[in-house]
Amino acid sequence: MNKRPLLLVALLAVCSSIYAQNGASLSISDTSGPLISRHIYGHFSEDLGRCIYDGFWTGDHIRMDVVDALKKIKVPVLRWPGGCYADQYHWRDAIGPRDQRKATVNTTWGMVTEDNSFGTHEFLELCGLLGCEPYIAGNVGTGTPEEMSNWLEYLNYDGKSTLANLRRQNGRDKPWKVSFWGVGNESWGCGGSMTPEFYAMQYRRYAEFCKSYPGAPLKLIASGANSDDYNWTDAVMKNITLWNTWGLSMHYYTLAGDWNHKGSATQFGEDIYFKAMKACLRMEEIVNKHASIMDKYDPAKKVALVVDEWGIWTDPEPGSHPGFLYQQNSLRDALIAGTTLNIFNNHTDRVKMANLAQTVNVLQALVLTEKDKMLLTPTYHVFDLYKVHQDAHSLVLKLNSPDYTFGGEKIPAVNASASRDSVGAVHISLVNIDPSKKATVRIALQGLPSKSVQGQMLTSAKYTDINTFDQPNKVRTAVFSGAKKDGGDLVVEMPAESIVVLELK
């Protein structure tokens, strides 16, 4: 008997099983879906630790190095002043001559004195410099509808009134036309420990006095659920006035452990890495479940799901103030950002805004500062790579991913999203979270432009790699040349633990 055919079959079987372990296939529909709102690429900056004070603000001016870095990634929207701090914030404490502003205590974050040198005018100047839209979270917890409606008049009224005149006296003639407006924050917890039914009644009352001034239509955002608290979403959607609601928020943080054992930002092994990735991927399930509850009350999808706090939350850096939430940022965190943004891009029919927590020096920051030095974190580079998706049309994907297995558990190794921009270029963002296996992603090119294929990549030798003030460019983007045409397909060889963004023209 001739044994050669058998040998060939055996060889082919071995090859195809290797391919099955490392190979992914992706097909992309050529019909454009809903727009990926640029606001999905939004950020969040709270009066917390060194985010504003020492991050954006020196005490008398805005740091232009930080502004210039953030302009490059096209920050579309910035949320402020909290977070939890929003519900203890009284806007009048932080307007007028700086030397006459009230000193207050930040009882939420670190029990430190706030000199309030950064207030409404400074925040809106910052947004102007960044070229982004402001998103202000109003105070429901310790505020009143009167205080909130006065703030809006101060911000947005162009005519003559005592408050509009006070704004002029404080140096701003024209109204800012702030549109995105949060009615409280985490009202189930730090925002007032309310039940959803009680909050819904508060929302109705506050919303009634939040007026849209001429030329400044308000987009009201109701305070939403804590991660998988679906009951909150159900009860709030059922009881609030949907006609004057633009969005409902939801907060979900990636934890590698639990709230009492979050783990180090820099020292961790694959067990913790795997847990963090698994937790990050849960965003998909959480978004889907909140969205389907919203569908019940709002089948036309008029109300946006606003994920206005997300990101990985680790232990603070040793030696830093525990209330300041200062954490380093590794390649792992960049993979979390890339994966989460892919999830948002793929749910753009309901998710219309998201805000990473928090821009500078706090939690999953884009920028870290130390005196007059500044560095860009691995997460910053993800936002730089992904900015091509802003306001592009989402494309529907079908992805078959190999598994990333660890400790008897498995999660998809590869995730992706794609969009077509206004000039017809297609961008595909791919993340391979497997820390030791490369992935071969075979993309069917049918219906996609393919005259020119270019790519950029973010990876590093270890998932714990970070950028430091001594070595600020250890984790950075590089040109990617691992995509090759093969017949009607594009074959993309992704290194382990990498993010690749391709541009097809």
Q: Which residues bind ligand AHR (CB under 6 A)?
A: 46, 82-84, 185-186, 309, 357-358, 363
Q: By three-state DSSP, how is residue 25 classified?
A: strand
- Closer residue to ligand AHR in complex, CB, 226/400: 226
Residue 477: Cβ-neighbour burial (10 angstroms; 0-12, 13-18, 19+)? middle
Q: Could you tell me the smallest distance in angstroms from the CB atom of residue 247 to ligand AHR? A: 16
Q: Could you tell me the smallest distance in angstroms from the CB atom of residue 109 to ligand AHR? A: 8
Q: Could you tell me the smallest distance in angstroms from the CB atom of residue 361 to ligand AHR? A: 12
In whole angstroms, how far apart are CA 355 and each of 31, 187, 300, 381, 428?
Answer: 28, 18, 24, 16, 22
Q: What is the DSSP letter of 316?
A: P
- Closer residue to ligand AHR in complex, CB, 226/450: 226
**Both tokens of residue 472?**
């600020």
Name the residue among 465, 460, 447, 453 with its Cα closest to residue 492: 453
CA distance 77 to 323: 25
Q: Which residue is nearest to ligand AHR (CB)?
A: 83
Q: By three-state DSSP, how is residue 323 classified?
A: helix
What is the CA angle 226-180-328, rounded to 5? 55
- Closer residue to ligand AHR in complex, CB, 358/369: 358
The catalytically annotated residue of 133, 153, 186, 497 is 186
Q: Could you tell me the smallest distance in angstroms from the CB atom of residue 239 to ligand AHR? A: 22
The catalytically annotated residue of 309, 317, 497, 503 is 309
Sign of the torsion formed by the C-alpha atoms of 467, 471, 477 and 480: negative
- Closer residue to ligand AHR in complex, CB, 199/213: 199
- Closer residue to ligand AHR in complex, CB, 309/497: 309
- Closer residue to ligand AHR in complex, CB, 83/141: 83
- Other beta carbons within 10 angstroms of residue 161's beta carbon come to 13
Q: What is the DSSP letter of 257?
A: S
Are 332 and 273 spatial neighbours (Cβ–Cβ below 8 Å)? yes
Q: Could you tell me the smallest distance in angstroms from the CB atom of residue 298 to ligand AHR? A: 24
- Closer residue to ligand AHR in complex, CB, 185/460: 185
Dihedral angle over CA of 202, 208, 209, 212, nearest 10: 130
CA distance 87 to 193: 11
What is the CA angle 444-386-274, rounded to 5? 85
Radius of gyration, alpha carbons of the chain: 24
The 3-class secondary structure across 37-99, one letter per residue, is: CHHHHEEECCCCCCCCECCCECCCCECHHHHHHHHHCCCCEEEECCCHHHHHCCHHHHCCCHH
Q: Could you tell me the smallest distance in angstroms from the CB atom of residue 481 to ligand AHR? A: 39
Q: Could you tell me the smallest distance in angstroms from the CB atom of residue 313 to ligand AHR? A: 8
CA distance 427 to 397: 12
CA distance 109 to 323: 5
- 309 as an active site residue: the answer is yes
- 114 as an active site residue: the answer is no
CA distance 317 to 257: 16
Q: Could you tell me the smallest distance in angstroms from the CB atom of residue 187 to ligand AHR? A: 10
- Closer residue to ligand AHR in complex, CB, 57/404: 57
- Closer residue to ligand AHR in complex, CB, 48/331: 48
Q: Could you tell me the smallest distance in angstroms from the CB atom of residue 48 to ligand AHR? A: 6
Residues identified as active-site: 186, 309
